[in-house]
Amino acid sequence: MALSDRDYMRDNYHAPHIATKLIIFLIVAFVVESVLIFYGHIDVIGELGLTVAGLKAGKVWQLLTFQFLHAAPWPWHVLLNCVGLYFFGRPVEEAFGAKKFIILYLSCGILGGLLQALTSLLLPNHPDVPVVGASAGICGMIAIYCSLHPMQELTTWIYFFPVHVRAMYLLIFLIALSVFGTLVPFDNVAHAAHLGGILLGIAYVHWGVNASPFFSKWNLFKPHDNSSANKKPAWRPARKTDDSSAEEFLQREVDPILEKISAHGIQSLTKREREILEKARAKMAKR
């Protein structure tokens, strides 16, 4: 008996309540931060922003608090991060639930902060200035989303012109930019923090979710399989695939899988369905 779309959505969908509340909290925190700086003359960033000196002084809370501060007074920094959290954080929470989402988000931020501090400590010409922003956690969410949906086409805007790019290539670009910015600090962006969040996001998908080798040729961007062992597959083949012709094989067995990917995403496929796709690839290669 096949699972209905309603059953599938009920078993795999988590409403993104925490991500939405986190966006609101970041905006409220920015307003409070700005008021304290400009009316209370309080050095909020110096005390709660992340610095090597602060960590050496035992202010370990900076690894958490820096994630909720942003550059003031202009709101573009916090708004850009909120946009990223909306488009990438919400789908991650939908896939894994609120508890895992917030743990992953904060963990990516903490690892990003540690890598940024380590970079400032070990590499020359990296000044120890306060680091603020939610970018490390959000970069981790981007890495998780792109690893789960590598072939998903995303749309961004450059000077009012839409640019379409697959998620896999966006992730590769972010990794390259973060590595270069970490080695050569060409701007005031904490690229090492971004890199730390990205690395943890990728590691979680490929070691925690898929338990697949990180540097495997075919598994680097292997998507997550949401189905569990005790669930019945949404589709099962009518007869053994090896006995069918290539045309019958594609029409009878591959087309339903492609329809399932279109409806629910590639992460919804079972192990058996992934094997069918591999066989289809092999048959097409021989033609």
Q: What is the amino acid identity at position 166?
A: R
Which segments in the chain show pLDDT lower than 70?
A: 1-13, 159, 210-251, 260-268, 282-287
Distances (CA, A) of 103 to 47, 93, 96, 159: 24, 11, 11, 35
Tokens standing for 4? 């209905």
Q: What CA–CA distance (Å, rounded) separates 283 from 287? A: 7
> pLDDT tens digits for 20-60?
999 999 999 999 999 999 998 889 999 999 999 999 999 99
Residue pLDDT, tens place only, 122-163? 998 888 999 999 999 999 999 999 999 999 999 877 767 788
pTM: 0.71
- Quote the CA–CA distance of 19 and 162 in Å, as a whole number: 26
